A and B are shown apart, each in its own frame.
Chain A
Amino acid sequence: GENVEQHPSTLSVQEGDSAVIKCTYSDSASNYFPWYKQELGKGPQLIIDIRSNVGEKKDQRIAVTLNKTAKHFSLHITETQPEDSAVYFCAASKETFNKFYFGSGTKLNVKP
């Protein structure tokens, strides 16, 4: 199967700073990599995703990079704001089926 590892488990930054969360995956057949944000007591929400034929994708303050050779992908949040505080999950899925393998999550705390 697929094994997704996520680091760090907690991340504390000052408002306005950047935050980077990293994930590695084990199966080279994985081709879709979504990132989810989960606020306390709620379900996760997709914030950005990337497919294996793309190396980088941006959406305003959020970007994701993918290195297929090294099997790792990262979430970058710039100009962080207190409302960015949440738990972030990375995931990977393979070609055959939309089964997501999730990382263990990163709790991001943005201090005002």
Chain B
Amino acid sequence: DGGITQSPKYLFRKEGQNVTLSCEQNLNHDAMYWYRQDPGQGLRLIYYSQIVNDFQKGDIAEGYSVSREKKESFPLTVTSAQKNPTAFYLCASSIGWESGNEQYFGPGTRLTVT
């Protein structure tokens, strides 16, 4: 089965701790994305990667970091500098970074920081 996996589904952390969210795809897609979703709001882009070893900040990158060392993997680290980290995090991928390519989403990770 081809698709995007995110783990874990639920994650709990204490304030002040960094946490890394996993995203893996076996679709052979070049582009990958991380979004944050808050209740009653649309998806907001955190980081994106057009190709391996390259990534760019999205609209709300402060307090987050990413890496793209392998084509199939795009982990997101939520650092202690992120002021409101509790949210639903979604990873997506598309076959290319050109406009008009469908973005395929993973099932999401719900992060709760207390």
Contact = CB atoms under 8 A, between A and B. Distances in A.
Q: List the 6 closest A-B pairs by CB distance, nearest first.
A: A43-B105, A102-B42, A32-B100, A102-B43, A104-B42, A44-B105
A31 B108 contact: no
Measured as residues with beta carbon below 8 angstroms from the partner, the interface class of chain A is: 20 to 34
5 contacts: A94-B99, A98-B31, A98-B100, A100-B103, A105-B41
B40 A31 contact: no
Nearest to A89: B42
Contacts of A42: 107-108
Contacts of A100: 43, 45, 103
Interface of B: 4, 31, 40-45, 48, 58, 90, 92, 94, 96-108, 110
Interface of A: 4, 6, 9, 31-32, 34, 36, 41-46, 49, 51, 89, 93-100, 102-105
